[in-house]
Amino acid sequence: MKWFLILLFPICCFAQGNTVDAAFAKAETYFHTKKYNQAKPIFQSYLKQHPNDLKTLEYLGDIYGFAEDWDAAIDYYKKLVELSPEVANYHYKYGGVLGMKALAINKVRALGLISDIKEAFVTAATLDPRHVEARWALVEFYIQLPGIVGGSESKAKKYANELSVLSPVDGHLAHGYIAEYNNKPKEAERHYKNAVHVGGSVVCYTKLYEHYEKNDAPEKAIQVIDEARKKHTSENRLHYQLGKIAGQYGIGLDQGIECLDKYIMNYSAADGVPKDWAYYRLAQIYKHKGQKQEAVTWIKKALQDRPDFKEALAEKRLIEAL
């Protein structure tokens, strides 16, 4: 979208315009590098001069959304919807923050938001027949909502079918999600396997191995993670996931040690799981192997930086009892 119309101004006005544009560009840089607190006041200042600027309103809605200030985010997205009702993504974001607010308040008050949430997502899906995220939102909306207030498995499947046309991978993941929610593990497994076959992304593998974990099939989960980590060699977190299952269930112990060693060696904050959890899993594995001294060494390391690590404290007691 074009935010500015290039006009010929007197030099003084032109210089002022350049200053504003430079500040706006700086705010965008802050935003895209996730420095939201630095971006926010610049966007707010810009909005005072351009109260209907769509991009600024969207940036501010996003910033308040990231901060989980749902009321403020709602205000910005609502104005976007009012100013530009033909843009599907504005309706989608508006529905999303309404949904997040509904989760944050009591159930009675949340009921009052249901119709607005549905209307926003349905409008987004109607305006843009290729809007994948809106259809995912509707799948979750209809499957999680009790039937008495509008929930519907058939409507969830309708949008899952639309996803299948737009993106076969998303279609399988959506149908797997619906089946899993309705306690149909075989059907969910079939769809997640198909998602892995068609897409093969880390997300697809994750849905499948998490499904096996939930259904007490750790051996199958390890097989899936092992396949995923061989295909996605740069995804360090998969090493942790395999080690986690090895530690939890006492299977694939040597492979678990190998994976956790790699996780620790290649660790970065982007991996998501702190290293102390990897130390904890190594302690579990060595406990399963009956190697008490190694287990003690790793559990102490897990507690070194976080003495109140409650899971590690409980594991320490179990190890000491060996």
Least confident range from 118-127, 147-156, 179-188: namely 147-156
The CA distances from residue 109 to 32, 92, 103, 151, 308, in Å, are 35, 21, 10, 17, 37
> How far is it, in rounded angstroms, from Cα 83 to Cα 54?
8
pLDDT in tens, 158-216: 999 999 999 999 999 999 999 999 999 999 999 999 999 999 999 999 999 999 999 99
Is pLDDT larger for residue 292 or for residue 111?
292
Second-level CATH architecture of 21-128: Alpha Horseshoe (1.25)
Q: Work out the number of other CB atoms within 10 angstroms of the CB of residue 57.
A: 23
pLDDT in tens, 63-97: 999 999 999 999 999 999 999 999 999 999 999 99
Give me the sign of the Cα torsion angle 276, 282, 283, 284. Answer: positive
Cα separations in angstroms, 225 against 189, 252, 265, 321: 15, 12, 19, 32
